[in-house]
């Protein structure tokens, strides 16, 4: 079993107050964030997503928006899940609750996301070319079609987390 609380094992992405977005690396330059000359920026489009997840076109691909609230978020590849830290006394306590939370979650309806390969998770306000360093997490995904579902779970009296699970349903 992976021990997530070890230093450097898990990288968290923070938001300045808006949604996070997972953009395929192949189309990062096409994500303008809050910048842009259009009436509605890419960031504005991401903010319009209603609910915990949504899809937005970016270039010739689609990005996954993690909406609902601006919670610190990480990706756990062995669980295939984005974990959103809503409440918890420690990282260790929160991450230790993930396997049980995934098993007992009441999932929202699924959406289907076609992914060409690795994605970057970052604050949707940032332009894709500027998301770097601690402002992002690279998520290595196999190209293909994924079923994406979300849930909000309270696995302990003082632990709340959001889950966004990715399941590969059709490899490319």
**DSSP category for residue 91:** H
Residue 115 makes CB contacts below 8 A (sequence gap 6+) with: 24, 61, 141, 142, 143, 144, 145, 146
Q: How far is CA 124 from CA 25, 31, 40, 95, in A?
A: 14, 9, 13, 24
Q: Which of 53, 167, 63 is nearest to 115 (CA)?
A: 63
* pLDDT at 167 > cutoff 80: yes
Residue found under tokens 């306000």: 125
Specify the higher pLDDT residue, 1 or 138: 138
**DSSP category for residue 134:** G
Residue 104 makes CB contacts below 8 A (sequence gap 6+) with: 153, 155
Tokens of 30: 């096409």
* pLDDT at 38 > cutoff 80: no
**Are the CB atoms for 81 and 105 separated by under 8 Å?**
no
What integer pLDDT is reported at residue 35 of this predicted model?
A: 78
* pLDDT at 133 > cutoff 70: no
């Amino acid at each position: 079993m992976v021990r997530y609380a070890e230093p450097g094992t898990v990288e968290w992405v923070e938001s300045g107050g808006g949604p996070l977005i997972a953009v395929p690396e192949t189309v990062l330059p096409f994500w303008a964030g809050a910048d842009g000359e259009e009436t509605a920026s890419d960031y504005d489009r991401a903010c319009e997503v209603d609910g915990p997840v949504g899809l937005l076109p970016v270039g010739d691909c689609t990005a996954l928006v993690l909406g609902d609230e601006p919670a610190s978020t990480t990706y756990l590849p062995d669980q295939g899940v984005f974990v959103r830290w809503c409440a918890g006394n420690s990282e260790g306590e929160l991450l230790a609750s993930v396997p049980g939370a995934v098993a007992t979650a009441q999932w929202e309806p699924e959406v289907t996301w076609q992914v060409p390969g690795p994605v970057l998770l970052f604050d949707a306000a940032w332009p894709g070319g500027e998301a770097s360093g601690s402002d992002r997490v690279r998520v290595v995904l196999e190209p293909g079609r994924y079923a994406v579902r979300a849930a909000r779970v309270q696995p302990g009296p003082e632990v709340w987390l959001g889950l966004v699970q990715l399941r590969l349903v059709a490899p490319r």
